[in-house]
Structure 1
């Protein structure tokens, strides 16, 4: 059920990890990591490509293309299966711990014979890890925290994985005769950052054909099947529920199965005061059992004296009492201000990234490759200046190209270049890429120092979290937001599904300090430009309007925003 590009990307990443763990050459592992990123971000469905077309994907060579084709044809990669068998199964279990890399897992197994989480916990409690080079007290704390995260895993998946499955199933079920309406509901419709079960709602007068088709979804097993609800479990292990209702109940059912629970409870409380009752079948008057509304959400809300409430706001955060904002939408975005090319860790050349952005209809587009203080990116002053000339010379049609950089916020809050060099950029993003375990006081000072730099325009992925893999940094975010609001520094909403950073709760806090935001893709491949929909969803959950988001502004207004800080 996973999108083939994502499934193959995950396998190639695993192959890279296993290369490291079995003593393979580091450059080969790095090549497979790049290939994984390129395949995941490729715009076309790789299952539809022939061998030659696969080889044309950036960073995918003949050997990698052959492995991809093998997987598409057989469902596995023989070389990967062989490598899996070379390692004790416990090592792969250790690799599942957030923050545990392949080299650490190998070291623990080689030096201490650890091949299970239980053995690892016992070794930490006995102080054995501190005897190993590179494993200090902080490392042990981080590993224990990672084990806690793993054990508390609720089985939720990233929103893009859930969306891929939902849209694929919906597209298939739309073709079933008698399907009148169909969409996804639940937390996916509310654009939560991670999803438990995928809820799909359909309207039909006879549900049998829909249920039969749904039960035969490829690579899945049926959990329960009935006339009104059928549940399946996909090959990736998460549950998809299909509910079918009569068309006359569509609006009430869509409200009910969208939630949230808290929003629904607040609505029912409102109903009680009005002598009404609300269910998935409709809104009724209690005394007479008269049906007042059911066919559309708008009609149900209207009967309750409310405007239609966007799903992203249905969290009982005052949406029943406050005036509703005109929420920012994807169509409002005029550009993307955080993207990468293959000059650093992207996989597509500048020309390809620009062309993909131009096709999205943007008015402007910023190229922001990594700066020089991140050694693995091998950036130099000369390379950055050469790229600037390339950007200036490139014809992007009606779209204006902006040359920028994603600067590194060093432990003391300083960034890569001095003011003279920074003044040559059209716009900059500054992000924390290291030293994630600084104290709250140190991290707060670090971020504020960067924010006060007159040449830092946007703070990228503020909390540095990777959902399910890395916890957010510890900082006084209200103090950070106060500084950002005072200096005219935007806070990024990073749209990449494993980041979605900052989240909706921090957005709501930041708004109190008059902070402006930038919704960016952080794209490393052309296909990644499409993740903006997830950043928009988080922005809506934070009640943001177009005026709150700097890349919905005209280029003239954006340039004034940048200039006002310098």
Structure 2
């Protein structure tokens, strides 16, 4: 299903604005909630928001007040929202991508920015690797270890499982998660799906409606077999199971994003980099949510087959995704221009 580009872009902007206001502190709490609600409304709409021509029509949708309605109209007329551009200048904008991960809430990020001048995820990684956070009040060994695990900085030191053992644990977890209310689909991804001889952690992709995601994350993190919760956000969680102390990374996406998420989180990293390079050469962007044109219009991503077909390739099995000639071998003779016309 092709989602309206205006809805997708505005939903992303309003979610980002909600994070900015949340970062600015408790006095902006209600603004943060209002923009997050507007983001959800737009995300779940099937009709293009541009059908609503004025403030009165937008207000009638419910959950979108006059101020936000005016910003929607401003975006539809100009392609920008002035308040959003100004807001990004008031916060360490690149750092806010960590906002929804446990251990990286607004108060923590404010402390990191103000006391250590950390402005991005990479700044934080550098600070953790050089042990700079230990000087801060409230940043003890346990908190710092959790942060490093959430950013996967400690993965290299963890025990790796044999494929057979990892498959046993992964399939057991998968069967359980599929019984959770609200879960529409769930599949294993990562190196386990690629059948590597040893596995560092387990990746799980779930599709669910927006309204069910919080309940799914809560149920997942409260399972009996969970030893530790590293991170728990709106659409993702990282937990450590008691069995073999294996880490499980979970991502929840929409139905139309499932193929893109499976492709992205299955890897390998080298395979994905090559696909992104090919997409970029043709004027597209590819990520864990799908393939997009330069106007951020979603074009493909419901299935992996659709993703490969859009890029002019045959489907490549997970175990062959190594960037060792499999992409060149899978390239179709069918002109990419035909695919462009079909989806634009």
Q: Which has the larger radius of gyration?
A: 1
TM-score of the aligned structures, taking structure 1 as reference length = 0.30
TM-score of the aligned structures, taking structure 2 as reference length = 0.48
Higher helix share: 2
